[in-house]
Chain A
Amino acid sequence: MDSNLRREIIVDNYQNPTNKKTIDDKEFITASTISDSCIDNITLFVKFKDNVIEDIYFDGEACAITTSATSIMIKKLIGKTIDEAEELMNNYYNMIDEKEYSEEELGELNAYNEIYKQPNRKKCAIFPFETLKKAIEKYKMHN
Chain B
Amino acid sequence: MNREDFPMLKNDLIYFDNGATTLKPQCVINEITNYYENYSANAHRGDYDISRKVDELYEKTRDDVKEFINANKREEIIFTKGTTESMNMIIFGFMKNYLQKDDEVLITKTEHASNVLPWYTLEKEIGIKVKFIPLEDYEVTIDNVKKSINNKTKVISLAWVTNTIGDLRPIKEITKVAHDNNILMVVDGAQSVPHFKTDVLDTDIDFLAFSAHKMLGPTGVGVLYGKKDYLEQMLPLNYGGGMNSFFESDKSLEYKPLPYRLEAGTMNISGILGFRKALSYLNKIGMDKITNYEHELKDYLVKRLREIDNIEVYNENTKSGIVLFNIKNIFSEDTSQFLNHYHVCVRAGNHCAKMVKDELIIKNTCRISLYFYNTKEEIDKFINIMKGNKDIFKVII
CB distance from A100 to the nearest CB of B (A): 25
Q: What are the interface flags for B80-107 relative to A under an 8 Å C-beta threshold, 1 for contact and 0 otherwise?
A: 0000000000000000000000000000
Taking A37-B349, A38-B350, A40-B333 as contacts, is the C-beta distance between A61 and B397 under 8 angstroms? no
Q: How far is the CA of A62 from the CA of B350 in the complex (A)?
A: 12
Check B349 against A38 for contact (C-beta < 8 Å): yes
Stretch at the interface among A6-14, A23-31, A74-82: A6-14
Check B348 against A64 for contact (C-beta < 8 Å): no
Check A63 against B334 for contact (C-beta < 8 Å): yes
| Number of A-B residue pairs with CB-CB distance less than 8 Å in the complex they form | 42
Taking A39-B333, A39-B364, A121-B337 as contacts, is the C-beta distance between A64 and B352 under 8 angstroms? no
Check A7 against B334 for contact (C-beta < 8 Å): no
Q: Which of A44-94 contact B (CB under 8 A)?
A: 61-65, 67
Q: How far is the CA of A65 from the CA of B331 in the complex (A)?
A: 10
**B397: chain A residues within 8 A (beta carbon):** 3, 6-7, 10-11, 64-65
Check B396 against A64 for contact (C-beta < 8 Å): yes
**B337: chain A residues within 8 A (beta carbon):** 63, 118, 120-121
Q: Which of B333, B351, B363, B396 has the most CB of A within 10 A?
A: B333
The reply to whether the CB of B394 lies closer than 8 angstroms to some CB of chain A is yes
Check B350 against A63 for contact (C-beta < 8 Å): no
The reply to whether the CB of B332 lies closer than 8 angstroms to some CB of chain A is yes
CB closest residue in chain A, given B113: A38
Kindly identify which residue among B331, B354, B393, B396 contacts A61, using a CB–CB cutoff of 8 Å: B331
- Please count how many residues in chain B sit with their CB below 8 Å of the partner chain's CB atoms: 17
Kindly identify which residue among B332, B394, B396 contacts A39, using a CB–CB cutoff of 8 Å: B332
Q: How far is the CA of A120 from the CA of B389 in the complex (A)?
A: 21
Q: How far is the CA of A121 from the CA of B337 in the complex (A)?
A: 9
Taking A7-B393, A38-B354, A39-B332 as contacts, is the C-beta distance between A61 and B349 under 8 angstroms? no
**B334: chain A residues within 8 A (beta carbon):** 63-64
CB distance from B165 to the nearest CB of A (A): 16
Taking A61-B363, A62-B331 as contacts, is the C-beta distance between A7 and B349 under 8 angstroms? no
Q: Which of B354-397 contact A (CB under 8 A)?
A: 354, 363-364, 393-394, 396-397
CB distance from B312 to the nearest CB of A (A): 15
Kindly identify which residue among A3, A10, A63, A121 contacts B331, using a CB–CB cutoff of 8 Å: A63
Q: How far is the CA of A6 from the CA of B364 in the complex (A)?
A: 26
Kindly identify which residue among A39, A62, A64, A121 contacts B393, using a CB–CB cutoff of 8 Å: A64
**B354: chain A residues within 8 A (beta carbon):** 38
Check B349 against A11 for contact (C-beta < 8 Å): no
Q: Which of A88-143 contact B (CB under 8 A)?
A: 118, 120-121, 124
Q: Which of B317-345 contact A (CB under 8 A)?
A: 331-334, 337
Q: How far is the CA of A39 from the CA of B352 in the complex (A)?
A: 9
**A38: chain B residues within 8 A (beta carbon):** 349-352, 354
CB closest residue in chain B, given A112: B397
Q: Which of B285-328 contact A (CB under 8 A)?
A: none
**A6: chain B residues within 8 A (beta carbon):** 397
Q: How far is the CA of A118 from the CA of B354 in the complex (A)?
A: 27
CB closest residue in chain A, given B396: A64
Kindly identify which residue among A7, A11, A39, A121 contacts B348, using a CB–CB cutoff of 8 Å: A39
**B350: chain A residues within 8 A (beta carbon):** 38-39
CB closest residue in chain B, given A9: B397
CB distance from B356 to the nearest CB of A (A): 11
Q: How far is the CA of A2 from the CA of B365 in the complex (A)?
A: 32
CB closest residue in chain A, given B340: A120
Chosen A-B contacts, 17 in total, with CB atoms closer than 8 Å, are A7-B394, A10-B393, A11-B393, A11-B397, A37-B349, A38-B351, A38-B352, A39-B332, A39-B349, A39-B350, A40-B333, A61-B331, A61-B364, A62-B333, A63-B331, A63-B334, A67-B331
Q: Lowest 9 A-B CB distances belong to which pairs?
A: A63-B333, A39-B349, A63-B331, A7-B397, A38-B349, A39-B333, A63-B334, A64-B334, A11-B393
8 extra interchain contacts, Cβ-Cβ under 8 A, other than A39-B348, A62-B331?
A10-B397, A37-B349, A38-B351, A61-B364, A62-B333, A64-B331, A64-B397, A67-B331
